[in-house]
Amino acid sequence: MKLVFAGTPEVAVPALDALIASGRHEVAAVVTRPDAPSGRGRRPVASPVARRAQEAGIEVLRPAKPRDAEFLERLREIAPDCCPVVAYGALLPRVALDIPARGWVNLHFSLLPAWRGAAPVQHSVMAGDEITGASTFLIEEGLDSGPVYGTVTEEIRPTDTSGDLLTRLAFAGGGLLAATMDGIEDGVLKAVPQPGEGITLAPKITVEDARIDWAAPALRVDRVVRGCTPAPGAWTTFRGERLKLVQVRPVPERTDLAPGALLVGKNSVHVGTGSYAVELLWVQAQGKKPMRAADWARGVRIAEGESVGA
């Protein structure tokens, strides 16, 4: 088939690579978000998908909005059979959805209908799911509600951050998307409507969502930290300033600390929660680089009775 791939961030690149490497389909162009300011100079920088496409000699389309007339005209000229999508970052209007003969097929990082929305991996980790995965589905105008072509499952490991999990899903999902394109072309793959039960939503994680509630159980604290790593980053406050929590470890044997209370040992920093304590392993103070929590504690000279999150 002739394909136009739509995607923007680094997590979409493995799927683009899988389609290019398959040798079975022609990736005629990619659609990505416009270049965005980055770095100290705030110079426009091409998206990871745009850079990969340029390396491969593939045409890059950067519409400000996917309903722009110039973009729609070019898409009609290319006349793709199908448009695979991974984390493009903009809603597709009906007029664009109608152009490819076999529609737009999205790779979504959850087992639909679970975790429809912008942040499925983060929500899956934060909810304590043991299994997640990726799904390919035919895009409709509803939110991730289209019929599903295929899925691949992935175990969520006890220490996984959302970044760890998303990296594995990006590669497994890339293979799934390529296989889905093959099945659509062969006529052996039909999209199956999603069940009406088991629908959960995964809206974008806000900075406030990433704030640690020390009255919550230790397992919840650990899940929020892992789910918000690397972005937007879990945080609390210490002496009135924000302290980012990069990595923590539940310590079930330590039950003597009140929520938020700090206990500093020679090479350890423990914090009380609503159940048992967690050990702070890596933290990042405001304006500083990430460091071991024990080094941070020595530097700020935590006094007896001090706490976080007050």
- Is 111 annotated as contributing to ligand binding? yes
Q: Distance between CA 178 and CA 116 in Å, rounded?
A: 22
Angle of helix 48-55 relative to helix 13-22, nearest 10 degrees, comes to: 20
- Is 100 annotated as contributing to ligand binding? no
* Bridge partners of residue 247, in order along the sequence: 282
Sign of CA dihedral 187, 189, 194, 199: negative
End-to-end CA, the chain: 58
The answer to whether residues 60 and 29 touch, using CB atoms and an 8 Å cutoff, is yes
**Residue 235 region by backbone torsions, left for phi larger than 0, else alpha for psi between -120 and 50, else beta:** beta
Pairing of strands 59-61, 26-31: parallel
The answer to whether residues 27 and 20 touch, using CB atoms and an 8 Å cutoff, is yes
Contact partners, residue 121, CB within 8 Å, separation at least 6: 109, 110, 132, 162, 165, 166, 169
- Is 263 annotated as contributing to ligand binding? no
Q: Distance between CA 185 and CA 29 in Å, rounded?
A: 18
The answer to whether residues 137 and 106 touch, using CB atoms and an 8 Å cutoff, is yes
- Is 113 annotated as contributing to ligand binding? yes
Q: Distance between CA 156 and CA 122 in Å, rounded?
A: 11
Residue list for the binding site for (6S)-5,6,7,8-tetrahydrofolate: 110-113
Annotated binding site: 110-113
